[in-house]
Amino acid sequence: MSYPDDLRYSKEHEWVRVEGTRATIGITSFAADELGDIVFIELPEVGASLSQFASFGVVESVKAVSDLYAPIGGEVTEVNEALRDGPELLNSDPFGEGWIARVELADPSEVESLMDAGAYAAETG
Encode 39-64: b = buried (16+ Cβ within 10 Å), e = exposed: eebebbeeebebebbeebbebebeee
46 vs 64 by CB, closer to another protein: 64
From the CB of 65, what's the least distance to another protein, in Å?
4
88 binds another protein (CB under 8 A): no
67 vs 116 by CB, closer to another protein: 67
Quick one: which of 12, 42, 75, 104 contacts another protein (CB under 8 A)?
42
Cα–Cα distance for residue pair 103/45, rounded to 1 Å: 11
Cα–Cα distance for residue pair 55/53, rounded to 1 Å: 7
Q: How many CA atoms lie within 13 A of 45 on its CB side?
A: 3
37 binds another protein (CB under 8 A): no
Quick one: which of 12, 60, 88, 104 contacts another protein (CB under 8 A)?
60
Q: Cα dist. 118→3, 30, 31 in Å?
A: 8, 14, 16
Quick one: which of 46, 64, 82, 119 contacts another protein (CB under 8 A)?
64
From the CB of 60, what's the least distance to another protein, in Å?
5
67 binds another protein (CB under 8 A): yes
Residues that bind another protein (CB under 8 A): 40, 42, 60, 64-65, 67
